[in-house]
Amino acid sequence: MSPEQAMTIGRQAMEITLMIAAPLLLVALVTGLLISIFQAATQINEMTLSFIPKLLAIFTTLVLAGPWILQVMMDYIERLYASIPWIISG
């Protein structure tokens, strides 16, 4: 395997990782921001208040985006397995 092939595989893996993680991280960020605004407006300073809404939001996002995430991962894995002969011979 050449260094270019290794870099290509690594770059693709990083892109897939960011693509899969982005929806979950964005939902957690927005939920945390909304809870923080609510806490600031009501002056409730409970650190554990944001845990359950974030957990529910991430779970809902995972249920809704789960098929897409699975499809993206399966496509990448299929491409990676299909390229094994090319990697070995190259």
Contact 1/90 with Cβ under 8 angstroms?
yes
Q: Is the pLDDT of residue 89 over 80?
A: no
Give the Cα separation of 36 and 45 in Å (integer). 9
Domain count across the chain:
1
Give the Cα separation of 36 and 40 in Å (integer). 6
**The pLDDT value given to residue 47:** 78
Maximum distance among all Cα pairs of the chain, rounded to whole angstroms? 64
pLDDT in tens, 7-20: 988 999 999 999 99
**The pLDDT value given to residue 90:** 62
Contact 18/71 with Cβ under 8 angstroms?
no
Report residue 81 as tokens. Answer: 């397995």
Q: Is the pTM of this model over 0.85?
A: no
How many CA atoms, within 13 angstroms, populate the side-chain half-sphere of residue 17? Answer: 6
pLDDT in tens, 50-72: 889 999 999 999 999 999 999 99
Domain that includes residue 67, residue range: 3-89
Predicted confidence band at 87 (pLDDT cuts at 50, 70, 90)? Answer: confident
